[in-house]
Amino acid sequence: MNLKAYNRYFLIGCCLYWLAIIGFSSVGPDQQWYLFLISLLLIFSTAAHLWFFAQYSRFHPIVEVEVLFTKVAAFGGLTLFSALLPRLFGFSNLGPYSWLNYAIVYIIINYFLYALVIFRKLIYLKRTNAVIRQWQTFMTVLFITSLGNILGFKLPEILLNILLIAGILIWLPLLIRIKWIALLEANDKWPNLLFTLVISLINIGLFGLLRTMDVPFLNTHSPVNIFATLVIFAVTSYSVLSLLTIIFYMPLSSVIEEQKSEIQSFQEISKLLQNKEGSENTLKQLFSVCYNNTFSSSGWLVYNSNGKGEIQHTNNITSKEIQLISDRINLGELLQIETKDLYYNFPDLEAKKIVMNGEMPFQSLLVLPIYTADSELKGAICLLKNFTFGFDADMVNLTRSYIDQARLAFENDRLIKQTIEDARYKEEIEIATKVQQLLMPKEFPANEYCEIAAFNKTAKDVGGDYYDYSVSDDYRMSIVIGDVSGKGAAAAFHMAQMRGIFQSLMQLCLPPDNFLVMANQTISRCLEKNQFITLLYVAFDFAFQNFTYSRGGHCPLLYYNAETDTVSYLQGEGLGLGIIRNNSYTKFVEATEYPLHENDILLLYTDGLVEGRKPDSNEQFGYERLKFCLEAYKDMSAKEITDAVYKKFINFTEDNDTLDDTAIMVVKIKKGI
């Protein structure tokens, strides 16, 4: 059945209802059959209209928040105007059996039904099976209350109260589903704030109007009243909560926009890995990214060409001012120190006599030397602000992360020039090996709550297995392990792209499922259509003694629970990154939380470990054998477990050439957590 057929039946139902009201308005109020027919028609009409609006919503799958609010506001404004129109013409004291009263109730109730179904689109955003069941249960309660007056059947008052309370309790979990607010762009905040305000005022006005109307079936103990109360409560509460949430969310929107800008900047830096442009142009792009994300007032870029520092790019500063500052801080001597992790922060230029009182407006300076992996100076970025202590630790770490990423671009460029005369195979191996060495962490942070060890072996000289970590604060840490589809240099090159993306997202402390969703959005723009990445992300919160993980198509997490002394695989739903490249990916990920105990062990690995085979029998190492290993080695340290598992693997496969890359990562919880 198409939408035209639904519209036809909807119009027929409307006409029958209005004709019935006009015809029955001439019958006396003492006629009980009159009240019965009117109640029956209203019940039928509300149920039919609710069904129609649901079908209308299905045929118009619009999820743009502003468009949805526009429709509700327009319908509500028209309804409020129509309801007030009789009063504007002096018809304010209508009798309880006036057809005009029934007509006003009819359009008001149908507006609230329409708004309820439209709001379902927002509630269903990133929905789960539990949300769908809650909505269906709420609709069932509405259906029961709408049938309360059929054939003169009167529900007991206690049952009506139970239905009312049950409906409200069922609605509350749906009420707080306002995830769409986090997806609003900065420019969308104010329009949607205005729309929710208008809709809330319209809802309150229509509710107040209904309370003043003298209609028999809207008395306190009527099932129709319970039906109307639940519908009005649902629509009004959702619009008001949306309004309040947008108001409280707006102060945080600027911070979120900054985080999005930082992620975009990491994407821009990651693209430099693929560019074949010269170092000078790469430095200019890097300067622009650092300048914008530190909100600098002025700055300049020094490009070191053939050992000569040349000023290539400036913002809001003169050559004379650059020369004065460079001489007073001995910039040339500073840049001769070949330490690629070095930076120079001058928080108060006047205190250091670098800027005299009133000479220049600058008060703080940050100098960022840029070296390649072999300590070759490529240039320096100098950033200025017009107030003291302008560059805090977060800004410094952010700019150094950008420079670390850009260093890969320089290394990539250098390797391409170096190997262009060699054979293609040698060129591929050298580039990928250098990139991969820069990416894989050599050491893990010292932590009083856990110890971490990892091991990686590639099937060829380079591979696509990847693991990393991020420490948010003293109590929160996250780890990730992944596997790029394919082998060799191509997989290693894609792994190099992923490092910046994952590191930037890990700094945001996102829930694991949101981490996978945002990573999938970014990776979909970087990888070819035939490429994908499997991923396992684990976030530890030692303050609350738990960990949460999400699985993106990767091997299941092997977990030893010290409290129950059991080893098991934690499966979890999930799909590889880059397989689905649209918003529907959110349906395929989930986050699962587990408590942490003393001596708990988490073993993360890639499929090369369980798929390793015996040369003679072709038997796989397998999941069960890996599980038995952890059961046997659970009393060892993380490093000992890693070495023991890999030794067992080597003995099983007789140290033959593996078919796939192999990575192992072990986290063991220390005593005293």
pLDDT digits (tens, 9 = 90+) for 40-55: 666 666 666 666 666 6
pLDDT digits (tens, 9 = 90+) for 279-304: 677 788 888 888 887 889 999 998 87
Residue 155 near residue 223 (C-beta atoms within 8 A):
yes
Report residue 485 CA to chain centroid gap: 24
Residue 147 DSSP code: T
Based on the fold, state whether residues 654 and 507 are members of the same structural domain. Answer: yes
E-only strand ranges, 374-430: 377-385
- pTM score: 0.44
Based on the fold, state whether residues 400 and 495 are members of the same structural domain. Answer: no
Based on the fold, state whether residues 242 and 98 are members of the same structural domain. Answer: yes
In a domain, 417, yes or no: no
- From residue 563, alpha-carbon distances to 229, 595, 596, 600 in Å are 50, 10, 9, 8
Based on the fold, state whether residues 652 and 528 are members of the same structural domain. Answer: yes
pLDDT band at 118 (very low <50, low <70, confident <90, very high): confident
Name the domain boundary from 223, 255, 287. Answer: 255
Report residue 173 CA to chain centroid gap: 20
Quote the mean pLDDT of the chain: 78
Based on the fold, state whether residues 251 and 284 are members of the same structural domain. Answer: no
In a domain, 267, yes or no: no
Within 8 A by CB and 6+ apart from 241, the residues are 175, 176, 178
What is the C-alpha to C-alpha distance for residues 391 and 397, in angstroms, rounded to an integer? 10
In a domain, 435, yes or no: no
What is the C-alpha to C-alpha distance for residues 670 and 637, in angstroms, rounded to an integer? 9
Residue 273 near residue 497 (C-beta atoms within 8 A):
yes
Name the domain boundary from 222, 255, 288. Answer: 255
pLDDT band at 444 (very low <50, low <70, confident <90, very high): confident
Q: What strands, in cross-sheet order, belong to the sheet with 298-305?
A: 308-315, 298-305, 377-385, 364-371, 344-346
Average pLDDT over residues 158-165: 81
Among 112, 129, 27, 126, smallest CA distance to 76 is for 112
Based on the fold, state whether residues 330 and 236 are members of the same structural domain. Answer: no
> Which residues face 476 on adjacent strands?
541
Q: Domain of residue 339: give its range.
A: 279-412
Based on the fold, state whether residues 186 and 133 are members of the same structural domain. Answer: yes
For the chain, the domain total comes to 3
Tell me the one-letter amino acid at 28: G
In a domain, 427, yes or no: no
Based on the fold, state whether residues 350 and 247 are members of the same structural domain. Answer: no
In a domain, 643, yes or no: yes
Within 8 A by CB and 6+ apart from 605, the residues are 481, 555, 558, 626, 662, 663, 664, 665
Domain containing 564 — which CATH number? 3.60.40.10
Residue 83 near residue 209 (C-beta atoms within 8 A):
yes
- Tally the C-alpha atoms within 13 A of residue 423's C-alpha that lie toward its C-beta: 3
Q: What is the dihedral of CA 275, 278, 284, 286, to 10 degrees?
A: 50
The structure tokens listed for 554 are: 């990767």
| b/e 479-499 (16+ beta carbons within 10 angstroms → b) | bbbbbbbbbbbbbbbbbbbbb
Based on the fold, state whether residues 191 and 320 are members of the same structural domain. Answer: no
pLDDT digits (tens, 9 = 90+) for 381-429: 899 999 888 888 778 887 887 777 777 767 666 666 666 656 566 666 6
Domain containing 345 — which CATH number? 3.30.450.40
The structure tokens listed for 89 are: 């013409």
In a domain, 338, yes or no: yes
In a domain, 49, yes or no: yes
Based on the fold, state whether residues 80 and 218 are members of the same structural domain. Answer: yes
- Tally the C-alpha atoms within 13 A of residue 355's C-alpha that lie toward its C-beta: 23
pLDDT digits (tens, 9 = 90+) for 597-612: 999 999 999 988 898 8
In a domain, 271, yes or no: no
Among 9, 111, 105, 106, smallest CA distance to 55 is for 9
What is the C-alpha to C-alpha distance for residues 449 and 529, in angstroms, rounded to an integer? 41
Backbone φ and ψ of 670, nearest 5°: -80, 175
Based on the fold, state whether residues 240 and 292 are members of the same structural domain. Answer: no
Average pLDDT over residues 356-360: 83
Based on the fold, state whether residues 291 and 251 are members of the same structural domain. Answer: no
